[in-house]
Amino acid sequence: MATPTETQQNPSSFPLQDRVAIVTGASRGIGRAIALHLASLGARLVINYSSNSAQAELVVTEINTSSSSSSTTPRAVAVQADVSDPDQVKSLFDSAEKFFNVQPHILVNSAGVLDPKYPSISNASIEDFDLTFSVNTRGAFLCLREAANRLKRGGGGRIISLSSSMVGGLKPGFGTYAASKAAVETMIKILAKELKGTGITANCVAPGPIATEMFFLGKSEDVIKKLVDECPMGRLGEVKDVAPVVGFLAGDGSEWVNGQVIRANGGYV
């Protein structure tokens, strides 16, 4: 396997050649697109999901049968783990190490939930608050902690967490969700400093509205039209608008981008 340094000296059309990336929430939506994009850059992938094993296996098959996969060794594996459970997060990293026989280089935290009732803070239930924070914030914390201890040192280590442009947009109905992601942005900025000397960078990508199941759930056509009208690009974001930004942050060229939040939203907020 090429080390990160060798890869740096030998740039190819596969800049992430043989690096191992764990992508949480990769069975669907943005996580799926990120996983496929990292695979197209040469990475080997752990496709994490919580309940949707059939969709996760489809992503694995797509990667293992793609043209960038020249070897007979599988380049992707699906691993079930609820990111809010510390034991399951630990076993997610154990599975990555065991399957690829190497320390992982990249963690992308994309697993997340959004309450489709969009409650005001005055109407939000404790159960919904707890679910949002348990997946988005506790889940991110557990994955960041595991990655900080277990990603490969010495160059090429990358941590990327999905936040949301709602942290800046602050729209009514997004109180708990935006707060859960604001906490992630804060952790990432501090983690980047704590990782001094490891060669590992930590950044957030904060999309605006992106056409996925999460986005469409609970939104009327009028609300969707209003969001499109508000966007300077005059359209909804798509997963293909986010994956290359993560691909850049995952590669060697991004080393000087550290502790940052990249808002990928077409100028929406």
Ligand X SMILES: NC(=O)c1ccc[n+]([C@@H]2O[C@H](COP(=O)([O-])OP(=O)(O)OC[C@H]3O[C@@H](n4cnc5c(N)ncnc54)[C@H](OP(=O)(O)O)[C@@H]3O)[C@@H](O)[C@H]2O)c1
The helix or strand, by DSSP H or E, that contains position 130, with its residue range, turns out to be helix 126-132
Considering only 210, 246, 249, 269, the residue that binds ligand X (CB under 6 A) is 210
Count of residues binding ligand X (CB under 6 A)? 33
Least distance between ligand X and beta carbon 108 (Å):
10
Positions marked active-site:
177
* Cross-strand bridge partners of residue 24: 109
Instruction: Please name which of 110, 119, 37 lies closest in space to residue 76, comparing C-alpha atoms.
Output: 37
**Residue 116 contacts residue 218 (beta carbons within 8 Å):** yes
In the list 18, 82, 115, 185, the residue contacting ligand X (rule: CB under 6 A) is 82
Residue 167 contacts residue 182 (beta carbons within 8 Å): yes
245/250 Cα distance (integer angstroms): 9
227 counts as binding ligand X under rule CB under 6 A: no
Q: Count of CB atoms within 10 A of residue 194's CB?
A: 13
Whether 105 and 93 have beta carbons less than 8 Å apart is answered as no
178 binds ligand X (CB under 6 A): no
| 112 counts as binding ligand X under rule CB under 6 A | yes
* Contacts (CB under 6 A) with ligand X, residues 9-68: 24-31, 48-52, 55
Q: In whole angstroms, how close is the CB of 22 to ligand X at the nearest point?
A: 11
Q: Which span sits near ligand X by CB under 6 A: 57-65, 121-129, 141-149, 212-220?
A: 212-220
Q: Which positions lie near ligand X, rule CB under 6 A?
A: 24-31, 48-52, 55, 82-84, 110-114, 135, 139, 162, 164, 207, 209-210, 212-215
